[in-house]
Amino acid sequence: MQYVGIQTQQSRNNFRSLLLLCLFPCLVIGLLFAFCYLFHLLVINNDGMTQAELLGYSTGMFLQIAPYILGGVLIWFIIAYFANTSIINSATGSKPLSRIENKRVYNLVENLCISQGMKMPKINIINDDSLNAFASGINERTYTISLSRGIIDKLDDPELEAVVAHELSHIRNKDVRLMIVSIVFVGIFAMLAQMASRSIYYSSIGHRRDEKNNTAIIIVLIMVITAIGYFFSMLMRFAISRKREYLADAGAAEMTKNPLALANALRKISADPDIEAVNREDIAQLFIQHPGKQAINALNGLSGLFATHPPIEKRIQVLEQF
């Protein structure tokens, strides 16, 4: 494998992640205009409008409804964004870890923070004997590193320090905030898809035949457009997550000057990463290694497109090249 420096890897992944994230609002706008165009083409176009007329009417409809749609998306985004921290803590069962309970962990985190000029994050513990960890929070007041009891007990100091450095890299690089943004956008498409599917059922009740035909066409359009948006937004979110894991691995190697320690830690984590309390995919992608079946299966073929983490073997290979 060709050697790639840490700074080069960080620059590449930052650019690609930013590009992917920018595609989310573009996707919303593009799909909204596609709906307006298809609506006029399939529902309104009874007299055979020209292409120019179709585009004109579609643009007019788009400009009328876009502020309401984008406003609703913004409100949804704000609510989900600021409620995300409490949701994550509840979904993982993580609890605050005091210095008295584990001075070793606090010393490792403090030393790394001092060396990087970072503010000390909160430290949580997950009462699970499996090995895993994640970072959460959206600002300095809420940034938190959560470690499972298993990862604290089963890793030696250099390995645990490397894992902590990986999570600190997520915080330093604003990875958690980036992932929350992408998760929220995917949630928006999921909500719209659910609303469309319910509308199909209710639209079939209590309408005349002609009304049913037009309503059915509209609802199918909404559902198809939403499904397409949801599919591509999922791919974008997964791509962001995979690239961020490589970036955090590189950051940990830079902080500790010991990339092999993280490589060894990842080998141990991959043997038992499953956190019992975690059953939500959007939460699972925040962990250093996916706490489920994906962690066991290699990423082959199209399945790799839907994976939130790159193969553990590939991550170790990259670390061993430094």
* Cα–Cα separations (whole angstroms), residue 242 to 34, 53, 165, 186, 209: 30, 44, 18, 16, 49
Distance CA 146, CA 308 (A): 19
| Residue located via tokens 């600002």 | 139
Q: DSSP 3-state assignment of 127?
A: coil
Q: Which of 276, 241, 246 is nearest to 262 (CA)?
A: 246
Residue type, 100: I
Residue pair 187/233 in contact (Cβ under 8 Å)? The answer is no
Q: Which of 158, 151, 33 is nearest to 94 (CA)?
A: 151
| Residue located via tokens 């994230």 | 21
DSSP state of 140: T
Q: What are phi and psi of 146, to 5 degrees?
A: -110, 130
How many C-beta atoms surround the C-beta of residue 29 within 10 A?
14
Length of the chain: 322
Distance CA 209, CA 218 (A): 14
Give the distance, in angstroms, between the CA of residue 64 and the centroid of all CA atoms in the same chain: 31
| Residue located via tokens 């985004």 | 77
Which residues are catalytically annotated?
167
Beta strands across the sheet bearing 133-136 = 95-96, 122-126, 144-148, 133-136
